[in-house]
Structure formats: structure tokens, C-alpha cells
Copies of this chain bind each other. A is one copy, B any other.
Amino acid sequence: MEAFEKKVRASFALQGFMGTIGAELVSVGRGTAEIRFPFSAKLTQQHGYVHAAAITAILDSACGYAAYSVAPHEASVLSVEFKVNFLAPAVGKHFVARAAVKRAGKTITTCVADGFAVDGEKEKLVATMLATIMNIYPK
């Protein structure tokens, strides 16, 4: 396993919240990350669908880790902000977020991510994110 993947996986393992929603880090590349979780009644909104905020959680983490994967080795990363559009009800057996770096700068990295509801072979786009991540360097 390469250094960038190792640091991302080590960080992901420390995120209590990812465990709480049942999320796993499927894969991480140079500038990409994929995170997924299975449907659970613990994650629903008032109509029994998965809560937008649960989808948002994996989109946010996937963006952060896509950025982290290409950050200088001495830097950590921080979400400055993100925006997410919800495109369809989150109905499926699994939910997956796939993020990619759009541009990596010294301080600011911009990422995009798509969220899908998965049912067997079928994937449906349910959300899309545009996020700003900042590299934090030790003083």
C-alpha cells in the first residue's frame, strides 16, 4: 500500500462518525476516494428514506480524503465549506460517494463528488457536491 493510501486509511479509521453510519472506505487513489454504507433504519428521515445528511457525510468525507491523498505529506486537511445538491430520493440498498480532486493548490483544494443509490447492478445519481478543502501545515 502506498503512503498516500496508508495515511488516508489511518485517518478514516479514526472517524467515529463513519463507524456510526456504517461507512467503509472502498478505495482511495491519487486524488480520488470512494466511501459507501448500507441502508439502515438508523439513517432515515421522516419518509423512511436515507437522510440527506447521511449522504452528505460520505460525500464530505470522500472529498476530504480525495484532497488529503494529494496533499503534501506534512499537511493535514480541513473542510472550509461545501455545497450539495439533492437530485433524487435516496432509495437503495447501498449508498456510495465518489470524489475527485478538481484542482489542488498549495493551500486550497477543490473537489467534486457524486452520490449514488445502489440496488444490485443499478446505480442512481442522488446527490452532487462541490467542496473546498484547506491544507493545514504545521507551524
Contacts and interface: CB of A to CB of B under 8 A. Distances in A.
B82 A110 contact: no
Most buried by B among A86, A103, A132: A86
What is the interface residue range for chain A against chain B?
35 or more
Interface string A77-90: 01111111111100
Given A46-B15, A57-B56, A132 B130 contact: no
Chain A at the B interface: SS class: mixed
A78 B83 contact: no
Given A81-B85, A81-B86, A54 B17 contact: yes
29 contacts: A14-B44, A14-B47, A17-B45, A17-B51, A17-B54, A19-B42, A20-B21, A20-B43, A51-B57, A52-B60, A52-B79, A53-B60, A53-B61, A56-B56, A56-B57, A78-B86, A80-B80, A81-B83, A82-B83, A83-B83, A85-B130, A87-B105, A102-B125, A103-B125, A108-B134, A110-B128, A128-B130, A130-B130, A132-B132
Interface of A: 11-12, 14-17, 19-21, 41-48, 51-54, 56-57, 60-61, 78-88, 102-103, 105, 107-108, 110, 112, 125, 128, 130, 132, 134
